Chain A
Amino acid sequence: MTESTTIELRINGEVHSLEVETRRTLLEVLRQDLQLTGTKRGCNQGVCGACSILVDGNSIRSCLSLAVAMQGRDIVTIEGLGDGARLDPVQQAFLDAGAIQCGFCMPGMIISAKALLDKNPRPSKAEIRHALGNNICRCSGYVKVIDAVHRAATT
């Protein structure tokens, strides 16, 4: 038995009215119903961080969040950063630092970095490592990722 309900989600400043099954995660709804495919599924278990999004300014795992529980929250996905023509300074810093390799973890990584810098504009290296500690990257060894966040904080 599946149960559906109509919900309103505010995503990247736009309100979407959707009918969703109550068991579905926000990650599924973002990727399948709204084609916001920048948010990635790496483990679907809340471990890898590839599905990180901003909810009321905090980096959370969309794979662990039921879509129906997200009504009334302010959701920002990777597609919501920057203004279309210009990248968000955090995104730009990842480009400038050469931090991006395969890129699959990057939307989540950038979201977590954004959440950190919005709250703590001048984090130490230790604070950066801690804030990104739950976003797994298999390519970079994190050196340039940490450098990117440090750059974003200092420029």
Chain B
Amino acid sequence: MRCTVLRRRNDTNTDTRPVGDAVGRSLPRREAREKATGAATYADDIVVPRMLYGAVLGSDYAHARIVSCDTSAAEALPGVKAVLTGDKLGGKLFGKCIEDEPVLATGKVRYVGEPVAAVAAVDRATAKRALQLIELQYEELPAVFDAEAALAADAPPIHEARKTYVGRVPPLDNPNLASYTCFAEGDAEAAWAQCDVIVEDKYETPAQQHMYMEPCSTLAAFDRAADQLTLWTSTQGVFIVQYGIAKWLGLPMSKVRVIAPYIGGAFGGKGGLTNQQIAAALAIAAAAPVKLTYSREDDMTMMKSRHPSRIYMRTGAKRDGTLVAREVRIYLNTGAYADEGPFVNAVAANFSRGPYRIPNIKTQSWCVYTNHLKAGGMRGFGVPQANYASELQIDAIAARLGLDPIEVRLKNALGTGDKFLGGQNVDHGTLARCLEAVRQASGWEARRARPAVQPGKRRGIGVASATHVSAMNAAGATVKMNEDGTLTVNTGAVDVGQGSDTALSQLAAGVLGVSLDQIKYAAPDTNFSPYNHQTGGSRTTYTVGVAVQRASENARDQIFDLAAELLECPVDDLELRPGGWVGLKGAAGKQVPFSAIAKRSLYTSGGPVMGTANWLYEAERFDPKRTLTAGFAPNAVGVFLFAALVVEVDVDEATGKVEVVEAWAAHDVGRAINPGAVEGQIHGGLVQGFGFALIEELLWDEGRLVNPSMMDYKVPGAMDVPYEIHAIVLEDPEATGPFGARGVGEIPLNLAAPAICNAIEHATGVKVTTIPATGERVLRSMLQPR
């Protein structure tokens, strides 16, 4: 029998930390103890009575017409409670940007692994056996796997009905084109003549898989009597799932409840809908709760990846390094369905100028359907691809002009008051500060001039800049006082591991002058939480943070009104004191605890203390006088932030293998609400970027994924990361952010690949224009005559 003695709550105020002190400290994560002991509950850990297990059958063909589908043998298997196919589901399409995707394939399949049938059974083994009994007949169609090839007039059509699809992206005539985006400023055509140097190249980036440690999992329960569907699911946003499920099933949202338990990583892969619809449909069909947890192979073959890209880029500069013109063509391979592809495509184009002033630019991007696994949002959201090409071109220009790569970046860096591509304001143009910080910390000049030499290795040092946005859409928050004076913060924001539960709690604690122990963070639940868009876009600490800060201030106002009655003085004479007290300014002994204020609110005056706030990030529009846009060109929704990275690498002369030796990264985060968590985002984002740069790549043989397992698709392990990753956190406060904060979730990933490839070039003289820069690729390039 385990027994814990609870300490009695102090009834005097002994907290000596000043009010506001909860912000800016590396407090341990709220749920760290649960996670370290195995007590934390993730979706697959949940068990409910009468629960069945789901399993999904994937297509064997990349592009084929479904001729027939016989499920009778599967249905006859003892223990099987429901068998679904696309036809049984009615073929209703869904999609965040374009409604182009069936939940189970209808009529034809468009990639190997596409869900075609699903089963619910009494256990996993029975469900899997039932899948093997489903008899499908296909008639194979010609397939296309390359984005540019898919745009050719004679390419096999993947979405014949593209021109009838509805969604945020307008219909297009080309059956393989999901979306097109164009930005143009100045006159790139005319500007080439003014350039002293022009560099031009083609760049390719891989289909990186999110590889969150927890595969997608949903437990769906349908209560037929109450007509209520409840989902416990691994997701980035409970409301986006609630809306998507209700819309797809044709139910009012009031009949769908979504709860997020702890989430085992997401990185964009659990944005929008994952396997929730299949789980829900099975639960309704079986009239029983169904848990659908994907195996790693299911997850890798059925969910999504980062968009592989091919980018043609040309940049021109003056002799002194001033950038003059750029032309860009980006092809994103979005696979069989658009998912978030059109947004990713637009963001890639919008960020293809990088964090620089280039007065003349034309950038076009195509988001193209192919017969591959679909691609969607992943940490960086199109920017890692575009920034890779952009940052390699800056180094190429520096090399041609004999200039230092950091100097060329400083010369062209966006500063405060400059305009982003599209004309949006840069309010905190701190790239130069970031570059100076990494230059100094890394000892750039000395290392660049005299790389340490080891036998058999070539050492090099490289740099990259990056920018990203932080924010997006709407958030609400409530800060409710409990009867004992403690507080409950509720936002509906899902902590996918980055630490937002703790950071948002710290914001409330900071406003109200209490310790983290005095604040409960409510788990996201559509039944109880205020609306929140999902976790993504580096938005939670920033956008939800604003709502939490304002709701806390609203609660504080109510607390002060009640305290003024208790202390019989005007509100203006009151001050918060640490640990949940309100005192009379200048009178140390005159104070009341939050518990007395709570009691007064409940039994004497005013009613319960309930701070609320709602907020929508209102984005600045593109400036049509400055920028010509065409196609699907949504404006960037968020505040811009900046970062810089220097990495040192060793390249093995015999194998071409690249090892990152040391890294220095500077990020301007505005204000680090929890500096330890910020460092964690920087370390983790960079290492995911190292994987993108060096080893990670989904590979296909024709339409079939050849490495859908953690055995064959490697992500960085503890042996693969440098001993030292120096996270330099700069704080130029964000005027609009909570306590000055900006979100740092994605930007580290934008830095890694170009800095590494620039370092490889410094080490070997070889330009690596296709990543991942595997040993084989680097060695081949090194052996090529130049």
| A interface residues (Cβ-Cβ under 8 A, vs B) | 2, 31, 35-45, 47-48, 50, 77-79, 81-82, 84-85, 87, 91, 94-96, 98, 100-107, 110, 125, 128-130, 132-146
Q: Is the CB of B683 within 8 A of A141?
A: yes
A to B contact number (C-beta, < 8 Å):
183
Q: CA–CA, A94 to B28, complex, Å?
A: 10
Q: Which of B32, B33, B212, B496 has the most CB of A within 10 A?
A: B32
B40 at interface, CB cutoff 8 A = yes
Given A47-B709, A98-B29, A130-B718, 5 extra CB contacts under 8 A: A85-B3, A94-B32, A95-B33, A102-B265, A137-B213
Task: Rank and list the top 9 A-B pairs by shortest CB-CB distance, nearest first.
Answer: A38-B38, A102-B497, A103-B35, A104-B264, A141-B683, A141-B687, A84-B2, A78-B38, A98-B676
Determine whether the beta carbon of A95 is less than 8 Å from that of B32: yes
Closest to A23 in B: B125
Among A35, A37, A104, A105, max chain B CB count under 10 A is at A104
Given contacts A37-B45, A50-B213, A101-B497, contact A141 B686 (CB under 8 A): yes
Q: Is the CB of A104 within 8 A of B684?
A: no
Check A135/B718 contact, CB under 8 A, given A48-B710, A106-B36: yes
Q: Are B2 and A85 in contact (CB under 8 A)?
A: yes
CB contact list, B25-47 vs A, under 8 A: 26, 28-29, 31-42, 44-45, 47
Q: Assuming A95-B32, A102-B496, is B710 touching A85 (CB within 8 A)?
A: no
Please give, as numbers and ranges, the residues of chain A lying within 8 Å of B61 by CB-CB distance: none
CB contacts (< 8 Å) of A45 on chain B: these are 296, 709-711
Contacts known (A42-B214, A43-B710, A102-B264); A139 close to B718, Cβ less than 8 A: no
Spell out B's residues near A (CB within 8 Å): 2-4, 26, 28-29, 31-42, 44-45, 47, 125, 211-215, 262-267, 295-296, 496-499, 676-677, 679-680, 683-688, 709-711, 715-719, 721, 723, 725
CB atoms of B37 and A37 under 8 A apart: no
User: What residues of chain B lie closer than 8 Å to A85, measured between beta carbons?
Assistant: 2-4
The B contact surface, by secondary structure, is: loop
Taken together as a complex, chains A and B put the C-alpha atoms of A87 and B38 apart, in Å, by 12
| 21 examples of A-B residue contacts, CB within 8 angstroms | A35-B47, A37-B41, A43-B709, A79-B38, A85-B4, A87-B33, A91-B36, A95-B36, A98-B680, A101-B680, A101-B684, A104-B264, A105-B213, A107-B36, A110-B36, A139-B213, A141-B684, A141-B721, A141-B725, A142-B683, A144-B676
- In the complex, which residue of chain A has the Cβ closest to the Cβ of B709? A45
Of B3, B125, B295, B499, the contact of A101 (CB 8 Å cutoff): B499
Chain A residues near B683 (CB, 8 Å)? 140-144
CA distance A91 to B36 in the complex (A): 6
**Closest CB in chain B relative to A27 CB, distance in Å:** 12
Residue of A whose beta carbon sits closest to that of B5: A85
CB distance from A147 to the nearest CB of B (A): 10
**In the complex the two chains form, what is the Cα distance from A94 to B37 in whole Å?**
11
Contact present for B680 and A140 (CB under 8 Å): yes
B680 touches A139 (CB 8 A): yes
Of A40, A91, A100, A110, which is within 8 A of B213 by CB? A40
Q: Does A138 lie within 8 Å of B28, measured CB to CB?
A: no
B719 and A102: CB pair below 8 A?
A: no
A48-B42 Cα distance, complex, nearest whole Å: 17
* A48 and B725 form a contact (CB under 8 A): no
The chain A residue with its CB closest to the CB of B213 is: A104
**Cβ of B541 to closest chain A Cβ, rounded Å:** 14
User: Which residue on chain A has the smallest CB distance to residue B295?
Assistant: A44
B residues in contact with A132, CB < 8 Å:
717-718
Across the interface, do B35 and A100 meet the contact criterion of CB distance under 8 Å?
Answer: yes
Chain B nearest CB from A64 CB (Å) reads 12
Which residues of A have CB within 8 Å of B215? 41-42
Contact B718 A103 (CB under 8 A): no
Interface centre among B4, B265, B677 (most CB of A within 10 A): B265
Contacts of A94 in B (CB 8 A): 32, 36
Neighbouring B residues of A135 by C-beta, 8 Å: 717-718
CA distance A94 to B38 in the complex (A): 13
> For residue A137, which residues in chain B have a CB less than 8 angstroms away from its CB?
213, 718
Complex contacts, A98 vs chain B, CB 8 Å: 26, 28-29, 676-677, 679-680
**Chain A neighbourhood of B42, CB < 8 A:** 37, 40, 104
Contacts of B45 in A (CB 8 A): 31, 37
Interface centre among B262, B295, B683 (most CB of A within 10 A): B683
Partner of A87, one of B36, B211, B267, B717: B36
Cα A38 to Cα B42 in complex, Å, equals: 9
CA–CA, A38 to B715, complex, Å?
A: 23
Establish whether residues B37 and A40, one from each chain, have CB atoms under 8 Å apart when the complex forms.
no
Chain B residues with Cβ under 8 A from A43's Cβ? Answer: 296, 709-711
Selected contact of A102 from candidates B26, B212, B688, CB within 8 Å? B212
Of B37, B125, B264, B267, the contact of A91 (CB 8 Å cutoff)? B37
Q: How far is the CB of B304 from chain A (nearest CB, A)?
A: 16
| CA of A14 to CA of B683, assembled, Å | 40
Find out whether the CB atom of A146 lies under 8 angstroms from the CB atom of B718: yes
A129 contacts B718, CB within 8 Å? yes
Nearest chain A CB to B679 CB, angstrom units: 7
B493 CB → nearest A CB, Å:
15
User: What's the Cα separation between A140 and B679 when bound, in Å?
Assistant: 9
A48 to B295, CA, bound (A): 13
Most buried by A among B36, B265, B295, B498: B36
Shortest CB–CB separation between residue B474 and chain A, in angstroms?
A: 25
CB closest chain-B residue, reference A101: B497
Q: How far is B675's CA from A98's CA once the two chains are assembled, in angstroms?
A: 10
Bound-complex Cα distance A49 to B182 (A): 45
CA distance A56 to B28 in the complex (A): 32
Contact B29 A100 (CB under 8 A): yes
Nearest CB in chain B to that of A84: its residue:
B2
